[in-house]
Amino acid sequence: MRPTFLEVNLTQLERNIEAIRARVAPAKVMSMVKANAYGHGVDGVAPFIEPFVDYFGVAVVEEGIHLRELGIKKPILVAGGTLTEQLPLFAEFGLTLTGSSIALLSAAEDVSRISGRRIKTHLKFDTGMERIGLHEYEAEEFIEYSLRLKHIDVEGIYTHLANSELADRSYSLMQLERFQEILRVYETLSEPPPALKHMNNSGGILNLPEANFDMARAGILFYGVYPGDESPRDLEVKPALKWKSKVAYSKRTQPGRSVSYGSLWQAETETRIVTIPCGYADGYFRRMTNKAQVVIRGRKYPQVGRICMDQFMANVGDDAIETGDEALLMGDGISTADFAEWMGTNEYEVLTSISARVPRLFVNE
């Protein structure tokens, strides 16, 4: 195995799901495993976690197909936008469609009728994202049309929160009011209403318990990371991921010698510079240059010089760090929030940008 790898604690993921389930009960739990399970490695995460969740969520149809190829039997919602030419794949692999327009529902009806396989769909309404789905003021026409279709199964109805991680709940409450308006329209038109009403994402699970409805969608919270600085920290979840490597080279560097491309850092005194075999091609981003830190033998050291495609350097001073010593890039003192600060982004991008060429090692306590 390459010395640079991710260690993913599956037992911690199970604990996180249990904590989330206890928080949202009696609602069901959908685990979002899009983007390679938020960088954790879907091949190891999804089969392990399947017994503990009710539904899986992905962004694109290929991710749903991959879950089926892994042997996943639980329902899988494809939450992203879908083109009509992709609809036969929903019928073939038993995926749940996000029904976001009359045209898409009409095409799904035709595919279901011709194939003899009923496509399940969750109607998607846009209550404040301006992304996918119809607005609340278009609900009556859309719902009436969906109820006339005979070959697809409308299993659910949902929306997505735009600002759920913020302490100010006013925008989320406005979205909740719009969604409740949609549900009232549905209840007047349909008997019985769809079984699965869902709205809450990770921020909503923490901030908006009145929006749990029948199911909550756990994304970054499932992986033990809170969705933003303003989210309450009152749920017992912990990160399941550690990013590790090893020192590949260690040498003394003389005063005035510059390190790496562009000569952005120079040694002021004689010091020891170590090289770690991880770079921006792995998701250890170039823009963290001279900002990041690494833990070796329990101590933090600054990353120095331009981060390269495949390696970076750290200044360990007078400490006797040797080739082969373990280097901790993330975890136990270096958080995804630290990475987000160094990168100038959020923790979602940090996790999902870790390259596929970094091996994932799955451990079970």
pLDDT tens for each residue of 251-295: 999 999 999 999 999 999 999 999 999 999 999 999 999 999 999
2-18: string of b/e by CB count within 10 Å (b at 16+)? Answer: ebbbbbbbbebbbbbbe
Distance CA 203, CA 232 (A): 9
For range 302-315, the mean pLDDT: 98
* Tokens found for residue 322: 């040797």
**Residue 138 sits in a domain of what CATH number?**
3.20.20.10
| Alpha-carbon 204 to chain mean position | 15
Q: Please report whether residue 343 resides in a domain.
A: no
192 and 266: one domain? no
* Tokens found for residue 78: 């494809």
pLDDT tens for each residue of 206-224: 999 999 999 999 999 999 9
Q: Which domain holds residue 245?
A: 241-334
pTM for the structure as a whole: 0.95
Q: Please report whether residue 235 resides in a domain.
A: no
Model pLDDT, residue 129: 96
Are the beta carbons of 247 and 276 closer than 8 angstroms?
yes
Model pLDDT, residue 181: 97
Which one is catalytic: 34, 197, 242, 246?
A: 34
pLDDT tens for each residue of 146-182: 999 999 999 999 999 999 999 999 999 999 999 999 9
Q: Please report whether residue 206 resides in a domain.
A: yes
Give the Å distances, CA to CA, from 20 to 44, 224, 309. 20, 10, 38
Half-sphere exposure of 295 (CA within 13 A, CB side): 14
Are the beta carbons of 269 and 353 closer than 8 angstroms?
no
Strands 326-330 vs 293-296: parallel, antiparallel or unpaired:
antiparallel
Q: Please report whether residue 339 resides in a domain.
A: no
Q: Please report whether residue 341 resides in a domain.
A: no
Which one is catalytic: 238, 249, 261, 300?
A: 261
172 and 259: one domain? no
Confirm whether 261 is a catalytic residue.
yes
Distance CA 138, CA 131 (A): 15
54 and 184: one domain? yes
Phi, psi angles (nearest 5°) of residue 244: -125, 155
Q: Measured on CA atoms in the order 281, 287, 288, 289, is the torsion positive or negative?
A: positive
Nearest to 100 by CA among 69, 68, 129: 129
